[in-house]
Amino acid sequence: MRRILILGGTAWLGREMAEAFIAQGGEVTCLARGESGAWAPGATFVRADRDTADGLGTVAAQRWDVVVDVSRQPGQVRRAVRELQGQAKFFVFISSANVYADQGTQGQDEDAALLPPLNGDVMESMESYGEAKVACEQAVLAGFGDARSLVVRAGLIGGPGDIFGRSGYWPLRFAHPSTPDNAVLVPAAPGLPASIIDVRDLAAWIVRASLAQLHGVFNATGDVATFDEHLAVARQAAGHTGPLVSAAPDWLHRHGVAEWAGGKSLPLWLDDPLWRGMNARSNGRAKSAGLTLRPLAETLLDTLAWEVATGIDKPRRAGLSAAEEAGLLAELRSTNSS
């Protein structure tokens, strides 16, 4: 039986990977502080803080077939590489498409230029997330070498369990519009790309690839659709037949509506020319290496079911609240009719 160590495993992708490894017959240990959530049934849990001096002590004394690390802190990854180098056969690092220097150009592959690595051990804010992930990748490659490591540059992850609320916003909004005429506010986004990778597809591929010791650097992103196509699939998943009320990007920006994610946003919408490529990276290398993607309709239907099961009025980390959307719709309609 293969011995797998997940540094993390209590949040979303980490837990999904733990479950997938266990389903493949792996013996899984997850190391975390125990703050982000529960570990997968069947996994061994090691409660530890990686920021303390002996944080990896228990696991560094054991041998592992595969170590998977989801960290974004260069110091944590450097220490893991240092302490596990002699104990682990293969190291998998979950990185991000944020490592690239140019986020504007569409269709770029893994050979595109990277940001400079973050100096120091600690990423102080998400502003330097890309640089921090570059530093983590470099530590893994320096310690384990190309032949003993897999670097997975994930694109926006979606699907059931999306606590960030990005992939669930549109199907939920279409299923539960904020106004009596069932109108939904959408950005005018002709031709803009959109892309999410289902967390289950991502985890399944990482697990298959790790067990096969597939090595190298891979973009693991969803297939690219247009933003309008993405909305059409979300709308169909929700059975929405009400009007779409389209707002120009300038109008939305003037009214404080953000792109992409976070509060008072229209999730997944990326109008900024400097960021449009984020939604349109090449996933060809990973697909050639076995990444399979389920239809977007299935992801959005299942995400809608998860949103409903976990409560449609729960606090959201992304999107417009019903009151915000209703207010914006009223204002836009009064502007258009005057």
Ligand X SMILES: NC(=O)c1ccc[n+]([C@@H]2O[C@H](COP(=O)([O-])OP(=O)(O)OC[C@H]3O[C@@H](n4cnc5c(N)ncnc54)[C@H](OP(=O)(O)O)[C@@H]3O)[C@@H](O)[C@H]2O)c1
Q: Please tell me whether residue 51 binds ligand X under the rule CB under 6 A.
A: yes
Asked if residue 9 lies in contact with residue 69, where contact means CB atoms within 8 angstroms, the answer is no
Q: Give the residues across from 114 on adjacent strands.
A: 100
Tell whether residue 50 is a contact of ligand X (CB under 6 A): yes
| Contact between 185 and ligand X per CB under 6 A | no
- Is residue 45 at the binding interface for ligand X, with CB under 6 A as the rule? no
Q: Is 142 exposed, middle or buried (0-12, 13-18, 19+ CB in 10 A)?
A: exposed
Closest alpha carbon to 209 in 198, 199, 220: 220
123: its two tokens: 């990423």
CB 312 within 8 A of CB 176: yes
Say what angle helices 296-309 and 227-238 make with each other, to 10 degrees.
50
Closest distance of CB 218 from ligand X, Å: 13
Q: Work out whether 8 is an interface residue with ligand X (CB under 6 A).
A: yes
Q: Which residue has the tokens 């944020």?
A: 98
- Residue reference for tokens 């849990």: 45
Encoded one letter per residue, x for contact with ligand X by CB under 6 A and - for no contact, window 147-176 reads -------x-xx-------------------
Determine if 126 is a binding residue for ligand X (CB under 6 A).
Answer: no
55 or 177: whose CB is closer to ligand X?
Answer: 55
Give 59 or 328: the residue with its C-beta nearer to ligand X: 59
Work out whether 11 is an interface residue with ligand X (CB under 6 A).
yes
C-beta of 10 vs 265, nearer to ligand X: 10
Angle, alpha carbons 236-241-245 (nearest 5°): 105
For residues 322 and 333, what is the distance between their CA atoms, to the nearest angstrom? Answer: 16
Rounded (10°) CA dihedral 201, 207, 210, 212: -90
Provide the token pair at 137: 């990748």
Task: Name which of 27 and 49 has its Cβ closer to ligand X.
Answer: 49
Q: How far is the CB of 109 from ligand X (least distance, A)?
A: 17
Q: Report in angstroms how near the CB of residue 63 gets to ligand X at its nearest.
A: 20
Binders of ligand X among residues 95 to 114 (CB under 6 A) are 96
Q: Which is nearer to ligand X, 153 or 240 (CB)?
A: 153
The verdict on 122 binding ligand X (CB under 6 A) reads no
Q: Which of the ranges 11-19, 100-108, 183-191, 301-309 carries the binding residues for ligand X, by CB under 6 A?
A: 11-19
| Choice from 1, 25, 35, 125 touching ligand X (CB under 6 A) | 35
Beta carbon of residue 281, minimum distance to ligand X (angstroms, whole number) = 11
Closer to ligand X by Cβ: residue 48 or 139:
48
Does 177 help bind ligand X (rule: CB under 6 A)?
no
30/35 Cα distance (integer angstroms): 13
Piece in contact with ligand X (CB under 6 A), picked from 2-10, 230-238, 274-282, 293-301: 2-10
Cα 14 to Cα 180: distance, rounded to the nearest angstrom = 40
Binding test (CB under 6 A) with ligand X, winner from 32, 84, 234, 332: 32
- Among residues 152, 149, 140, 139, which one has the least CA distance to residue 98? 152
Residues 52-91 that bind ligand X (CB under 6 A): 70, 72
Calculate the dihedral angle through the C-alpha atoms of 246, 250, 256, 258, rounding to the nearest 10 degrees. 70
Residues at the interface with ligand X (CB under 6 A): 8-14, 32-36, 48-51, 70, 72, 94, 96, 154, 156-157
